[in-house]
Amino acid sequence: MNTLKDTRAIGLGCMNLSHAYGPRPSEEDGIKLLNAALDAGYDHLDTAALYGFGKNESLLGRGIMHRRDEFYLASKCGMFKGPDGKRAIDGRPDVIKETCEAALQRLNTEVIDLYYLHRWDKNVPIEDSVGAMADLVKEGKVRELGLSEVSADTLRKAHAVHPIAAVQTEYSLWTRNAEIAVIKACEEMGVTFVAFSPLARGYLGAKLIDPSRLPEGDIRRQMPRFTTEHYAKNLALLEPMKTLAAEHQVTVAQLALAWVLHRSPSIVAIPGTTHIQHMKDNLAAADVKLSQSVVDELDRLINKDTVSGPRYGKATLAEIDTEMFSETD
């Protein structure tokens, strides 16, 4: 089995097959997409216990584990269903180990290649949570460890307990917090930086024109940048990108993904989609070569100063352990 560093630059984020966005595909269509992704050459698939409260892991378990030797499997713990049935962050060692046991059953596999702490539970020392995850490595249930949405300082503390193979954080033209310190820390420590939502939750696909028409329950309806107040301003930023994409004979999404990959040799990206053609297009973005002038132009067009609205609401921002540009970025 390959380590994460040996996989392709574009992996598949599986979340939206079961969670967060809508409309969601049927189980049959989800399995069809997963197998089509493997057929296309994807070799890194990313899921989590949180996604659909286990449904996404179960989807992979039913749909593609007969092809287990074809891909690197990443999943996450530390954020799941609480006693009240709602999403809860819980990094206690016993809970992490229980979550892993259940995940292995849902995934129908004996080992998870990369196991992330989905969120750092600020009520539990990071050393304790990572220590429990290190036990899973010793037991052969997990091969490598990762962290999600953490600061460079927390990464270093965790790495002192057990080597961290990857840090996963939202990163795209319109979400740049990782540029403060985390990407640099990953480069220095030999840690892979995994960019989730590299297409800005569909915004950089240039297909989402009116977020108010998204289905009820789609998390973007609660995200400030997708509100009526901000989205029209953000949509206008895409017009020069469309021109650049046409000049390079690529889609806007491919241009955005190529920009992410050009930012650091430590970066891999895991865009998600429910459309087979988009999935294939995303994988092809790894072959798009951009001149430094184009990278700089994209950087100038969409960045923390030109985007309208904060990334999350205040309650969600408070859960995340990342260096911030400001209280609202």
DSSP 19: S
User: How far is residue 58 from each of residues 53, 109, 241, measured CA to CA in Å?
Assistant: 10, 11, 38
pLDDT digits 0-9 by tens, 45-61? 999 999 999 999 999 99
136-168 in b/e form (b: 16+ CB < 10 A) is bbeeebbbbbbbbbbbbebbeebbebbebbbbb
pLDDT-derived band of residue 327, with 50, 70 and 90 as boundaries?
A: very low
Name residue 177's amino acid: N
The pLDDT of 138-153, averaged and rounded, is 97
Active site residues: 51
d(CA 131, CA 125): 10
The widest CA-to-CA distance across the chain, in whole angstroms, is 54
Q: What is the distance of C-alpha 28 from the center of its chain?
A: 23
pLDDT digits 0-9 by tens, 229-266? 999 999 999 999 999 999 999 999 999 999 999 999 99
pLDDT digits 0-9 by tens, 21-38? 989 999 999 999 999 999
d(CA 191, CA 64): 28
CA dihedral for 86, 127, 131, 133, sign (positive or negative) = positive
**Domains plus CATH for the chain?**
4-201+263-286 (3.20.20.100)
- pLDDT surpasses 80 at 325: no
The encoded tokens of residue 327 equal: 């209280």
User: How far is residue 224 from each of residues 165, 229, 314, 322, measured CA to CA in Å?
Assistant: 32, 8, 10, 19
Strands 87-89 and 267-269: unpaired
pLDDT digits 0-9 by tens, 193-207? 999 999 999 999 999
Using CB atoms within 10 A of its CB, is residue 75 exposed (0-12), middle (13-18) or buried (19+)? buried
Using CB atoms within 10 A of its CB, is residue 94 exposed (0-12), middle (13-18) or buried (19+)? exposed
Contact 282, 261 (CB under 8 A): no
Q: Which residues pair with 75 in a beta bridge?
A: 115
Helix axes 228-236, 238-247, angle to 10 degrees: 30
